[in-house]
Amino acid sequence: MPSQLASDAEIRRALTGIARLALHARSVMVSTGAGVSAESGIPTFRDAQTGLWARYDPVMLASYQGFVLDPANVWRWYDERRQVMQQSEPNAGHLALARWEELWRGQGREFTLATQNIDGLHSRAGSQVPIELHGNIWYARPLDGQYSEAQELAQCPLPELPPRAADGRLLRPHVVWFGEMLDSLLLGRAMAAAGRADLLLVVGSSSQVYPAAALPHAALRKGGTVVEINPDETELSPHVQHSIRGRSGEILPLLLEEIETLLT
Ligand code: BV8
């Protein structure tokens, strides 16, 4: 049964143990969800449906069917999210993960970051090669085009909805919609890293959306230790060794403190 940790003393003790595990691990992986961007002011996927969007089901808006029904409206939803993301800064949790990656890279240790988030904040925090499993909202590609035709679409807000390529082709956000396959190379890299991870952290995810939610189970099957950081209990909580009830912007910097103490 996992330890569900909420008191400061319990969390501190667990973080010391997790830092020790990290130092003895051949490979470490972190998988993040919308919760890691919450303290940057970006509503989580499920909280996002407020105000005008309250009457829309995000799974419908984030789907091919929803898009072709009303491209302008779906782009309006994405561009409003882009405007919030544009005003947001990486928070202490993003920065702690970038620092961890830098420390591990400096010591020739394996560190993999995979994210379900499309906001680009891990890269802005300094993470070098985040595996963006669900794409990136700052890129777009022709609806009738290839995944590889993605181009940066940085202008925000967009001058016209829906945006079109120079040749007039309708553009779609370069994100993975519900019902769409993830990029097989990215998913393959993430699953392979999870299978190698002696320690895998799942941070800020409700662990409800597959195949991303399968990553921690790939680590558990191979005998890896899985740690969850989330203020709430999730479907993953009963399966992990440690489920830390806390916000990523607070817990991750504390974990990095423990790791850096052990490294000195
Ligand atoms: C696929 C990009 C093969 C777009 C996203 C029926 C039909 C079709 C498919 C399915 C189906 N049934 C099941 C499926 C599979 C489906 C799925 O899993 N559905 C779920 C709803 C059951 N998956 C797919 O469709 C995937 N493709 O399977 O293809 C296929 C094809 C056809 C048919 C079957 C299979 C594609 C999924 C990708 C969808 N795109 N995003 C966009 O963003 O607009 S998903 C989107 O939602 C996010 O990227 C993210 O992945 C997900 C939200 O999850 P979270 O990130 O966890 O966010 P959430 O809000 O849920 O939770 C936040 C957590 O943070 C909470 O737990 C909260 O407590 C915590 N938190 C809050 N504050 C903090 C915090 N934690 C830490 N610190 C804090 N401060």
Atom of ligand 1 nearest to the CA of 48: 60
The per-residue pLDDT for range 164-207, each reduced to its tens digit, is 999 999 999 999 999 999 999 999 999 999 999 999 999 999 99
C-beta atoms surrounding 129 within 10 Å? 12
Nearest CA, atom 33, ligand 1 = 179
Spell 210-221 as b/e; 16+ CB within 10 A means b.
eebbebbebbbe
Distance 210 CA to ligand 1 centre (A): 7
Tokens of 92: 């202490």
Tell me which residues have their CB closer than 6 angstroms to ligand 1. 33-35, 38-39, 44-46, 59, 62, 116, 118, 134, 175-181, 204-206, 208-212, 229-232, 234, 247-249
Contacts of 51 (CB under 8 A, 6+ apart): none
Distance 4 CA to ligand 1 centre (A): 23
Nearest CA, atom 34, ligand 1 = 179
Catalytic residues: 134
CB 23 within 8 A of CB 139: no
Give this prediction's pTM: 0.95
The per-residue pLDDT for range 27-84, each reduced to its tens digit, is 999 999 999 999 999 988 877 666 666 777 888 899 999 999 999 999 999 999 999 9
Residue 49 pLDDT: 66
Atom of ligand 1 nearest to the CA of 211: 28
Q: Report cis status (omega within 30 of 0) of the bond before 159.
A: no
Distance 177 CA to ligand 1 centre (A): 9
The per-residue pLDDT for range 82-101, each reduced to its tens digit, is 999 999 999 999 999 999 99
Residues 100-122 have a mean pLDDT of 97
The per-residue pLDDT for range 127-166, each reduced to its tens digit, is 999 999 999 999 999 999 999 999 999 999 999 999 999 9
Distance 111 CA to ligand 1 centre (A): 23
CA distance 38 to 24: 31
Residue where the block lists tokens 């394996």: 110
Contacts of 26 (CB under 8 A, 6+ apart): 110, 196, 198
Distance 253 CA to ligand 1 centre (A): 26
Atom of ligand 1 nearest to the CA of 178: 25
Pocket test for ligand 1, best of 65, 80, 137, 178 (most atoms within 8 A of CB): 178
